Amino acid sequence: MASMSLRFAFVLFWISILASTVLSDLVISKIDRRIDLTSQIVRVVSSLKVENRGHDTASEVLLAFPDIQAKNLAYLQSSHHEGKGKGKQSAVSLPVTLVQPEGMPSDLTFYSISLPKGLEKGKSFTLDVLAVFTHSLKPFPEEITQADVQLVVYQDSAYYISPYEVRFQTLAVRLPSGRVESYTKYPSTKLVESDIKYGPFENLPPFSYIPITVHFESSYPFAVVQELEREIEISHWGNIQVTEHYSLVHGGAPLKGGFSRIEFQSRPPIRGESSIRHFIAMLPPRAHSVYYRDEIGNISTSHLWSDSKMTYLQIEPRYPMFGGWRTSFTIGYGLPLRDFLYEADGKRFLNITFGCPFNEIVIDHLIVKVVLPEGSKEISAAVPFVTKQSQEVKYSHLDIVGRPVIVLEKTIVVPEHNIHFQVYYKFNNLALLMEPFLLISGFLFLFIACIVYMHTDASISKFSASYLAKQQLDEVRATVQQVLSIINRVLAVHNKLETSLRDLSRTGDVQSCKAARKAADGSFKDLAKELKPLLGYLQSSPQASQIWPKVEELLSKEKELQEKLMAKHSAIVDGFEKKSARREVENRVASIDQKLAILRQEADELLDTLDDF
Ligand SMILES: *[C@@H]1O[C@H](CO)[C@@H](O)[C@H](O)[C@H]1NC(C)=O
Ligand SMILES: *[C@@H]1O[C@H](CO)[C@@H](O)[C@H](O)[C@H]1NC(C)=O
């Protein structure tokens, strides 16, 4: 039923023209082909025996792929086993190049394999070819529900498409399981367990072709990284920091009818078999400081374990991923420098793997950036396949000219590309000292700046003239305040004397009035003693030169006040004792009081002025 609709779902490729010019010199006397469909990556392994039937020596063998397949060809490798007998053989890889031979069908893509030495007339040569394809399994039905099993379709030719006559051939298609919806049957086709066998076919002319379609169950999660950026940063201080940014999509049949976590968890036998629940990254041994995060933050559902050969990181996305779902995340880890950096011929070189550490993942676009230490020169990269190379500069703190970065880009990357590549560069060891030198000189500069600053500050605080002047002025001000407070106390004694005089006129108690006078005399003496050093200081201080006349004026006013007050006191007490006429005493005192009032006002004004100083 599904196979009926298949005819409409897919456009089969075909070869439009049969070549008129036949490369008659070579013949494929035998070919065994195995197509491995067990994962999302299709691998075709062919073992060919080529025979030269012409007169001229042959130096190349052509391989032909229909364009529709060639556009998904990720990796092509050819090798030859040297030596006789099993175990003594060693594989030698043969150069493969894309070619455009003349007079060939236009919808085929050709590759040429160079033979190690010319193949003479009548001789034969055996070689193996591995071709790896991505995006060649099409989900059908195109959408599935969470409970459905994923079915996919693969199409190819049962005959080996070749520009040469093929004498004898077989084909085996390996499936993930024996659960096959349908497959194209020709005479002698048989399904044995999970292998479909076609052939043998004999004596077929060049470009013979018959289509096959296989529709089968594949629960393999089709993890496709649309873009991966790997940054490998070398620090000569002993570490290589690797940071990998993934944007990943599940390339399998998109989910229809929404996702139910309850159903996902409660139906163990089915529960979205083709969904991606976790990945395992195989990192080099001694990887350290491993982390895994996405846009939201660090993801803790990751597990790390290691043995002597590998460090394994199992990561789990926040949700199981179904067909068409996307996610982006970053993993990062540190590696010991000595495991990957070597020296040869006066150059240093990094020797590390190119691809990503996850198993059976397809990468549509891979960018590998190798960040070299600042000051690296004569940079070159040696990659065993074609990549687009460019250079840029990365700046981080403490960099002056920036770090040179070599950028390698490649489209359609499969695990076969996860092989070692090298980045060579020259580096002057002195440049290694640049950063510490910068740091040390930076700190030194800071220290010197601090010392200079503190020194400057010290000279300000202890030796600067303006600072001294300010300090002296402050001292003068404090002294003036002390003088003012003593004068105020003197004036308070004045008030006490006045009070004693008023008491006398009320009570007539001359003795207590005299006692008050005596006490006042004592106070005046004490206060005069306190005042003396303060006045001595003010008189000698140049900072007090402006204020000194006012202080002197205040002192003389006070002295006058005191004299007048004493005179008043004596006059009244005398008057009492001599029982003088009240009127006479009052007359004498009135003129003194007038004088006292004026003096008090003048003293008050001086006190205010001095208080504001
Ligand atoms: C994530 O983990 C890395 C490595 O353990 C750590 O340096 C970083 O601070 C973490 N970030 C957050 C947001 O927790
Ligand atoms: C790079 O390392 C691999 C694996 O250790 C090794 O086989 C290969 O020879 C090294 N390449 C170079 C150029 O040293």
DSSP 17-37: ---SS--TTEEEEEEEEEEE-
Rounded distance from Cα 15 to ligand 1 centre (Å): 56
Strand partners, 44: 35, 131
Q: Give the pLDDT of residue 574.
A: 85
Partnered with residue 18 across adjacent β-strands are none
The ligand 1 atom at the shortest distance from the C-alpha of residue 293 is 1
Q: CA-to-CA distance for 568 and 355, rounded, in angstroms?
A: 115
Please tell me the distance between residue 421's alpha carbon and the centre of ligand 2 in angstroms: 8
Hey, what are 118's tokens?
């010319």
pLDDT score of 363: 95
Mark the ranges of the chain whose per-residue pLDDT is less than 50: 1-13, 16-22, 269, 460
Distance 419 CA to ligand 2 centre (A): 9
Whether ligand 1 lies within 6 angstroms of the CB of 461 is answered as no
- Torsion sign over Cα 433, 438, 439, 443: positive
Q: Ligand 1 centroid vs 406 CA: distance in angstroms?
A: 27
| Cα separation values, 370 from 230, 286, 352, 427, 470, Å | 8, 20, 10, 15, 64
Q: Which atom of ligand 1 is nearest to the CA of 332?
A: 4
Residue with tokens 């040696």: 382
Give this prediction's pTM: 0.67
CA of 407 to the centre of ligand 2 (A): 21
Residue owning the nearest CA to atom 12 of ligand 2: 351
Question: From CA 287, how far away is CA 312, in angstroms rounded?
Answer: 9
Per residue in 326-337, pLDDT (tens digit) is: 889 999 999 999
Q: Report the phi/psi class of residue 531: left, alpha or beta, with left for phi > 0 and alpha for psi in -120 to 50.
A: alpha
Query: What DSSP line would sit under 476-525, residue for residue?
Result: HHHHHHHHHHHHHHHHHHHHHHHHHHHHHHHH--HHHHHHHHHHHHHHHH
Describe the crossing of helices 548-577 and 465-507 by its angle, rounded to 10 degrees. 10
291 CB within 6 A, ligand 1: yes
| 334 CB near ligand 1 (under 6 Å) | no
| Alpha-carbon span 356 to 367, nearest angstrom | 11
Residue 420: nearest ligand to its CA?
A: 2
Distance CA 300, CA 270 (A): 27
Backbone phi, psi, residue 545, to 5°: -55, -35
- B/e letters for 37-72, b = 16+ CB within 10 Å, e = fewer, are bebbbbbbebebbbbbeeeeebebbbbbbbeebbee
**Which numbered atom of ligand 2 lies nearest the CA of 342?**
14
Determine which residue's CA is closest to atom 14 belonging to ligand 1.
Answer: 298
* Closest ligand to the CA of 418: 2
Cβ < 6 Å from ligand 2: which residues?
351, 420, 422
Residue 296 CA to ligand 1 center (angstroms) comes to 12
Q: Rounded to whole angstroms, how far apart are CA atoms 100 and 218? A: 36
Eight-state DSSP code of residue 255? B
- Cα(331) to ligand 1 centroid in Å equals 11
Query: How far is CA 27 from its chain centroid?
Result: 58
At 83 the pLDDT is 66
Q: Which ligand is nearest to the CA of 419?
A: 2
Tell me which residue has tokens 């001359």: 510
| Nearest ligand for residue 384 CA | 2
**Structure confidence by residue, pLDDT tens digits, 504-561:** 888 888 888 888 889 989 988 998 898 888 888 888 888 888 888 888 888 888 888 8
CA distances from 189 to 25, 35, 208, 574, 587 (A): 31, 15, 18, 157, 156
Measured from the Cα of 298, ligand 1's closest atom is 1
Predicted pLDDT at 4? 39
If you search the block for the tokens 């193949």, which residue do you land on?
119
Which pLDDT does position 105 carry in this prediction? Answer: 81
Burial of 97 (0-12, 13-18, 19+ CB in 10 A): exposed
Q: For position 331, what pLDDT does the model report?
A: 92
Give me ligand 1 centre to Cα 291, in Å. 7
